[in-house]
Structure 1
Amino acid sequence: MSDEQDTVGYDGPGGGWGALRGITRIFGKEAPAPEALRTLKRQNKPGGFMCVSCAWTKPADPHVFEFCENGAKATLWELTSKRCTPDFFAEHSVSELKQWSDHDLEQEGRLTHPMRYDPDSDHYVECTWEEAFEAIGKELKALDPWSAVFYASGRASLETAYLYALFARLYGHNNLPDSSNMCHETTSVGLKQVIGSPVGTVILEDFEKCDAIFFFGQNTGTNSPRFLHPIQRAVKRGVEIVTFNPVREKALETFINPQNPEQMVAGDETPISKLYLQVRAGGDIAAMLGLCKHVLAVDAARREAGEAPVLDEDFIAQHTSGFEAFADTVRSTEWEDIERESGLRREDLEKAGDVYVRAERCIGIYGMGLTQHVHGFENVAMLVNLLLLKGNIGREGAGVSPVRGHSNVQGQRTVGIAEKPKLVPLDTLSEMYDFEPPREEGLNTVATCNGILDGSVKAFIGLGGNFVRAIPEREKMEAAWGNMRLTVQIATKLNRSHLINGEVAYLLPCLGRTEEDIQESGAQTVTMEDSLSCIHGSTGKAKPASEHLRSEIAIVAGLAKATLPPNPRVKWDEWVADYSLVRDLIERTYPEPFKDFNEKIFEPGGFHRGNNARDRIWKTESGRAEFTAPTMLSATGFEDGPERWRLITLRSNDQFNTTIYGFSDRMRGIEGTRDVLLINPQEMRRAGLKEGQEVTLTSDAGDGVRREVGGLKVTPFNLPDGCVGAYYPESNPLVPLWYHDEKSQTPAVKAVPVKILT
């Protein structure tokens, strides 16, 4: 317990000895092969392999160990010595395995053989690759292509993603949802509309030149800990950091670099955030508007005093539109309303605003704390508004920087994984492969779920991920899942999605990124794109977990060959034999960002594929960067009520997405369980709750549908008033499928309306 607030918490810094102990614990638990240590030494290095965890960049001049706690956990998880063999499936029925926890399923280890679900015995049974491909191809050929969905998680390489998208379009649909639909689709839609680029504008070198950094809703210590290295260096040279987050994430308070022996021995913590403001969940629009209001007021005062203005007038005049309407909205909004909706004091927002006023070059960082709201678009647009006021987009040391989660989720979109045909050069594909690509818009994640519910989706192929566990409305979705004719899952380890099957179901095991991929032309390399739009080569060296595994590219090609008619321009076998040929195809399809692709894949630090907004080329409707006047101050999309709480779904530092490595959320002081309801002590008393009391959360969405998650123990935790917290994905059943960002349809899981039942 924290002595200060009588809540659970962590007294240590981000990083430090706690991170090393966390890695050691997982090392002992997974009992990886001896080559695991050699693999870790190659992680995120030029010529090595890119981490399968987060999408943070690989620096040109790496540390001796260029991995973090979660990156090491992901590698050890993949290199486990445990094996999930056909004998395991013969011993356990699928119905039995459905009762297992997410953690225990994945702890059975790496999948070793292709498996077919036998509904008569309720067991998975071994099959050959040829049998699987033939059966899956037969099923797909019998279906209307638009009734099939090809889902991609964020871990597949650029080469795999390109071929997977090509397979879908040759088959005849654009139903290509991916994990971005569940997290940063708001970024793709929002940034595209306001600055003309669907991705961030910052590169790594900008962190060496900025004067201030503003964080919004991003947990660096858990989701991208290697990012803390440039952050720590920035602080030490005087950069001021301001953080807005309902949760006090420890690594953005203080940090000890585990790779600095002097810091480790002396316990010398680096304070990170100059100001840490616990905004209410959904209150970021109001908070950022408050910052802008203060900036405009200081600018006006300086002009009146005959001093230099704060605003970059030349930039606003030459490069933006909509400023006057935006400024009028800001000036007319009362501080009382801003304080109420943000949960922050005017005094604190003005202090944060002063940091922005002082800074010549500012970077705005954000995560899913902005994107996963009903008005997530307005969150993203408000951050851009703030940056545009001083010309902080399109110059060194400044810009907007969304931090992506999965390791290649941004890159998959770059090479064609998109349900929106306008994002893909279909005419180029038509010419290259002599076919007419489908032009209709496909299904994203929410539309896929609705299609499964209404029966229009008949087949689902999952390229990685744990789709059923990750989506909202889980109970209803699991009940409808079995009505599909075909489900296929490509994976490295067993998870819950593999147990919710269609009438015909296959589980296809693939190589991991750490493992050696030998094809006809020799050892293969794949590529990924990081959060900063840099492309990196990745070569696995570890011995594969089973001789029966195939690469993701080989599996995609096998499925495509069994499904599609022959096409002399579509050379699946040649592409599987030599991945450099796939990179040539990517370069032909996307010549500008991928010029000389094969020659640049091991460029130290990766090669930047370019960004029009960084060059102040605004591919928006107006041809300029757009100021956006918000029409609301709350991003939640619902009104507060006397018994209604804003539920924040959280990940622990012992998980990655739906993968649960263990039950130690060290950074929050929660051990041994994930069945908790986090709430501050004052709100506990107001609600008549006691620590350790078991309660149930129920949806308060107002649609009459009963949604519940029970067995949660009340745990005192430092959160803003009116907010409670619970872990993802366990809390997903509380999220209605229709409850999402209005423009991007990203599930709004960072402020879910709930009630507490005792």
Structure 2
Amino acid sequence: MTEQHDDRPDFTPYDGPSGGWGSVRSLADIIPREKNVAQTTAELLRQNKHDGFACVSCAWSKPYPPHPAEFCENGAKATAWEITSQRVTPDFFRQHTLTELRGWSDYRLEEAGRLTHPMKYDATSDKYVVAPWEEAFKAIGARLKALPPKSVVFYASGRASLETSFMWQLMARLYGNQNLPDSSNMCHESTSVGLKTSIGVPVGTTKLEDFDTTDCILHFGQNVATNSPRMLHQLRDVHKRGADIIVFNPLKERGLERFTDPQNPIEMATGKETPIATQYHQVKAGGDIAVMMGIAKWLLANDAIDHDFIAEHTHDFAPFAAKVQATGWDEIERESGLTRAAIERAAAAYGRAKTAMAIYGMGLTQHVKGVDNVRMLVNLMLMRGNIGKPGAGLCPVRGHSNVQGQRTVGITEKTELAPVEKLKERYGFSPPNEKGLDTVEACRGIIDGTVKAFLSLGGNFARAVPETELVEDGWARMDLSVQIATKLNRSHLIPAAGDTWLLPCLGRIERDLQATGPQRVTVEDSTSVIHPSLGKVEPASPHLLSEPAIVAGIAQSFLPPNPAIDWDAWVGDYSLIRDEIAAVFPHFFARFNERLQEKGGFWKGNKASGREWDTESGKAEFLVPDTLNATGFTEAEGRFRLLTLRSNDQFNTTIYGYSDRFRGINGTRQVVLMNRADIARAGLTAGQKVTLATDAEDNHDRRVGDLIVVEYDVPDGCIAAYYPECNPLIPLSHHAEESHVPAAKSVPVKIVI
């Protein structure tokens, strides 16, 4: 097996648009590589269709009626990756020790193929060995019975279905804890906290049809071409209608500049491109509050606010307005990295729009002041009444395909977000009321030894979190590690001191045949629409179990029987699980099974979209930020603001290859992007290899080396490098206040030559 990188990486700028022939060529590379061309091609025609399967990659909304090909480049890569013909069999593990495999790259580990058998780690040989499912469940149950419930973590990545997620959280609470961290803790928890306190709901307020009537989009910190490429269809249509799309992002991202629709024969034949952004402002990493303060300042000065909406629907506008008026332009320009003229030009476009949407991603949420970023964006929307009317609202773009849905059905460490009374009433037990561990707290527990066991429903936790080295060291001291997965990754290669289990599950695209026949599952997209998903591909191995079957097997191995819960019946018929979800969450899921027949899915509802504010005051809240700098640290000599990035050939920790074509980086991921002036000031040259070190005063040395300096258009004092390679540089303490999201978009670092 060969790596996709070499000792001669190429850094040739890419002049093409997003989409277009570049996307076609990328797919022409990966689909044959997975050695399943015919089946992948057929399945792509079912992707994101009502009678097909929900994409296993991002959570962007699925339109109805769908496009003929309702998949994007990265979604197609995810499908090819999941139904690959390559296999990781018991023979693979007989040939490789875990020590050896830890030397493999993220790409090479997953490229090895689909896991085929349940495996247990054998410390004597340092290898995984086959073990029957019954043995796995019995051993896991014995360990869990012997441990204090508060010492066990039940992590969920964002791919598991609503049905599996409901079972997972119920199992944890029946056991006696709410240690239910998930990938939202790493990415969008700042949204859940910020929106809940501001407008009373923890999710966005827009629907897909709002793109059809909006006059303006404010777009903050979200790389559409990599993270949610299907949104380019909506953005293109918005631009063609003559509406403004105003982008604030530290890097120029091609998907926000121009797009060629691969499904448009004329555009493909002629090379026609549609511009996306009407204004593009390269704000400093962590400078978004300052930008939004400047826009608010212009709106107030020009009386471009909705007085009636503010009077009827909001609370505490006066102190917010006073803060805006007291903030000087010198401070705004310094902290944002933009000129007053540029900010006022954006403000004027927003101010003349009758309706506006605010789209944002982790460029807002992953800062120490990430919650304030979200609240400040809400303030801008409230100033002009842009919540609760067509063509307007807040649109946080979620990552994993069901991360928002998992929260909806109870994957949360917070008691106030869990249906405690409903669970007590329906299942006859007293759910825990003590707050559980979130991702950062789980990492602390792994490091200090208070977390004794970690059960992971998908994901690559140890690779995705900050403080990588300390987390891995602590992981090796735990009593139990259980990993439910489809492919091999770094987290599977760190054995616990006690038992380590690798349990392979069906993928969402595969046929899930249970006692009552083929089963479908459900997911929730970024706009709160629930969709069915039906897999039809032959499973990668006859030894795989579905995720619900694995959860049920574990649950029955250590929980006492409960007459209100028939785990085996649920596994045999997933509609019974949906009936349970409907009973526990009736406000969202009444007539769940019946509503799945609705073409295009069903919207679960949103109070703020109807201008009903579930806040303490009963109105939408204006909340005042205490600083314009979201980074949580100050400027210092030689200190840079590191923002971590995905490449075009990546989804979260899954690396599909080594071609980040939009940025012109090919053959390597070991790079640090710097602007020309910063390279010169640091006494460096493009192509030179350097080491990054965390510039934090905590007496802990964190370094990532052998990074090639690449000249790139980034703001002064800011540098960029890839995630997860640079996660070791992020201190565990460097996280968003209130939400605990790791602040990966502004990490204080210095360059060591």
Superposed CA deviations along residues 111-170 of structure 1, whole A, max 9, x for unmatched, are 000000011111000011001001001110111111100000000000000000000011
One-letter code of the match for 1:712? L
Q: Tell me, what secondary structure is at the counterpart of 1:21?
A: helix
Q: CA RMSD in A?
A: 1.0
Equivalent pair of 2:485/2:502 in contact (CA under 8 Å): yes
- Which of 314, 325, 346 is the aligned partner of 2:308? 314
Partner of 2:713: 718
- Which of 672, 679, 682 is the aligned partner of 2:674? 679
One-letter code of the match for 1:487? S
Q: Quick check: 1:158 aligned with 2:159?
A: no
Q: How does 1:620-699 map to 2 (within 5 A)?
A: 620-699=615-694
Equivalent pair of 1:536/1:603 in contact (CA under 8 Å): no
Equivalent pair of 1:8/1:717 in contact (CA under 8 Å): no
Partner of 1:440: 434
Partner of 1:226: 230
Q: Quick check: 1:328 aligned with 2:322?
A: yes
- Which of 278, 282, 288 is the aligned partner of 2:286? 282
CA distance in 1, matches of 2:594, 2:696: 53
Partner of 2:610: 615
One-letter code of the match for 1:715? V
Q: How does 1:252-291 map to 2 (within 5 A)?
A: 252-291=256-295
One-letter code of the match for 2:220? F
Partner of 2:462: 468
Partner of 2:197: 193
Q: Tell me, what secondary structure is at the counterpart of 2:426?
A: helix
Q: Quick check: 1:737 aligned with 2:732?
A: yes
Equivalent pair of 1:57/1:605 in contact (CA under 8 Å): no
One-letter code of the match for 1:47? D
- Which of 395, 400, 420 is the aligned partner of 1:401? 395
Partner of 1:525: 520
Partner of 1:297: 301
- The two structures have a TM-score, normalised by structure 2, of 0.98
Equivalent pair of 1:8/1:715 in contact (CA under 8 Å): no
CA distance in 1, matches of 2:590, 2:171: 24
Partner of 1:569: 564
Q: How does 1:501-580 map to 2 (within 5 A)?
A: 501-502=495-496, 503-580=498-575
Q: Quick check: 1:500 aligned with 2:502?
A: no
CA distance in 2, matches of 1:602, 1:736: 47
CA distance in 1, matches of 2:571, 2:425: 22
How far does residue 704 in structure 1 lie from its aligned partner after superposition? 1.7
How far does residue 10 in structure 1 lie from its aligned partner after superposition? 2.1
How far does residue 34 in structure 1 lie from its aligned partner after superposition? 2.6
Runs of at least 4 residues of structure 1 off by over 6 A?
Answer: none
Superposed CA deviations along residues 422-444 of structure 1, whole A, max 9, x for unmatched, are 11111111111111111111000
Superposed CA deviations along residues 612-667 of structure 1, whole A, max 9, x for unmatched, are 11011111111111111111011001010120000010000100000000000011
How far does residue 683 in structure 1 lie from its aligned partner after superposition? 1.1
One-letter code of the match for 2:571? V
Partner of 2:7: none
Q: Quick check: 1:103 aligned with 2:122?
A: no
CA distance in 1, matches of 2:365, 2:713: 23
Partner of 1:177: 181
Equivalent pair of 2:31/2:37 in contact (CA under 8 Å): no
- Which of 5, 15, 21 is the aligned partner of 1:17? 21
Partner of 2:367: 373
Superposed CA deviations along residues 507-531 of structure 1, whole A, max 9, x for unmatched, are 0000000000000000000000000
Partner of 2:443: 449
Partner of 1:302: none
One-letter code of the match for 1:239? A
How far does residue 8 in structure 1 lie from its aligned partner after superposition? 5.6
CA distance in 2, matches of 1:240, 1:604: 31
Superposed CA deviations along residues 558-602 of structure 1, whole A, max 9, x for unmatched, are 000111111111100000000000000000001111111101224
Partner of 1:204: 208
One-letter code of the match for 1:266? T
One-letter code of the match for 1:416? G
Structure 2: segments with no counterpart, 5+ residues: 1-10
CA distance in 1, matches of 2:262, 2:599: 23
Superposed CA deviations along residues 90-114 of structure 1, whole A, max 9, x for unmatched, are 1100111111111111111000000
Q: Tell me, what secondary structure is at the counterpart of 2:55?
A: coil
One-letter code of the match for 1:261? P
CA distance in 2, matches of 1:10, 1:384: 36
CA distance in 2, matches of 1:681, 1:457: 46
Q: Quick check: 1:39 aligned with 2:43?
A: yes
How far does residue 697 in structure 1 lie from its aligned partner after superposition? 0.1
| Number of residue-to-residue matches in the alignment | 743
How far does residue 33 in structure 1 lie from its aligned partner after superposition? 5.6
Equivalent pair of 1:464/1:490 in contact (CA under 8 Å): yes
Q: Tell me, what secondary structure is at the counterpart of 1:42?
A: coil
Equivalent pair of 2:31/2:40 in contact (CA under 8 Å): no
Q: How does 1:52-201 map to 2 (within 5 A)?
A: 52-201=56-205
One-letter code of the match for 2:42? R
Equivalent pair of 2:286/2:745 in contact (CA under 8 Å): yes
CA distance in 1, matches of 2:687, 2:306: 53
Equivalent pair of 1:33/1:81 in contact (CA under 8 Å): no
Structure 1: segments with no counterpart, 5+ residues: 1-6, 300-309
CA distance in 2, matches of 1:231, 1:34: 32
How far does residue 457 in structure 1 lie from its aligned partner after superposition? 0.7
Equivalent pair of 1:40/1:67 in contact (CA under 8 Å): yes
Equivalent pair of 2:485/2:503 in contact (CA under 8 Å): yes
One-letter code of the match for 2:285? A
CA distance in 1, matches of 2:335, 2:430: 51
- The two structures have a TM-score, normalised by structure 1, of 0.97
Q: Tell me, what secondary structure is at the counterpart of 1:225?
A: coil
CA distance in 2, matches of 1:526, 1:346: 50
Partner of 1:346: 340
Q: Tell me, what secondary structure is at the counterpart of 2:204?
A: coil
Superposed CA deviations along residues 302-327 of structure 1, whole A, max 9, x for unmatched, are xxxxxxxx211111001101111111
Equivalent pair of 2:198/2:621 in contact (CA under 8 Å): yes
Equivalent pair of 1:10/1:250 in contact (CA under 8 Å): no
Superposed CA deviations along residues 517-564 of structure 1, whole A, max 9, x for unmatched, are 000000000000000000000000111000000100000000001111
Partner of 1:307: none
Distance 1:208 1:247, change over 3 A: same
CA distance in 2, matches of 1:376, 1:552: 33
Partner of 2:423: 429
One-letter code of the match for 1:70? N
Partner of 2:8: none
